[in-house]
Amino acid sequence: MGITEYGLQDVKKELQHLSALQMTELCLRLARYKKENKELLAYLLFDANNKEAFIEKIKAEVGFMFSQLPSHSYNAAKSLRKILRLITKYVKFIAAKEAEIEMLLNFCKNYIEYTDRKTTYKPLRLILTRQIQKIITLIDKLHEDVRLDFYNSYQEMVLEAEKKFPWFNKDGFLL
């Protein structure tokens, strides 16, 4: 005998019967218990109407985090995973594939700029290749007109990666 779990439709129906004051109290109570809920609520209230500015703030934060990247490969890989967790969280807030592609392209460009070109640490290399594969998958899911917008910046990034990293082969990543 456990606690009954309700589906999203049940919750939606119940929320329609609440007053504005009750809704406000519920939202504040949700925000109080989890940091991510509070961040999502703050995004929806203050930043959702200007996604471009929000994306630029994220890019600036990611750029700063890259500038603080440790030189030791193991610690650099940990920091890169932390940056990716941050990007993933904000992508969930925005809920737009275009924004995700834009942020991942920015991540890869920063990776190319700030990481050691001679690294032999495989997990550090895999971070870049996995993000590039993720970008390819996301671009393929877009409408053809929108796909062309990202195509050129993606191709430039792949060519730049091949120039900088001796271990990177563009052949597997060109669209």
pTM of the model: 0.87
pLDDT digits 0-9 by tens, 130-147: 999 999 999 999 888 888
Question: What is the spatial distance between Cα 145 and Cα 23, in angstroms, rounded to a whole number?
Answer: 40
Q: Using an 8 Å Cβ cutoff, are 101 and 95 in contact?
A: no
pLDDT digits 0-9 by tens, 66-122: 999 998 999 999 999 999 999 999 999 999 999 999 999 999 999 999 998 888 889
pLDDT digits 0-9 by tens, 2-60: 778 888 898 888 888 889 999 899 888 888 888 998 998 889 889 989 999 999 999 99
Q: How far is CA 173 from CA 124, 132, 135, 143, in A?
A: 18, 7, 10, 20
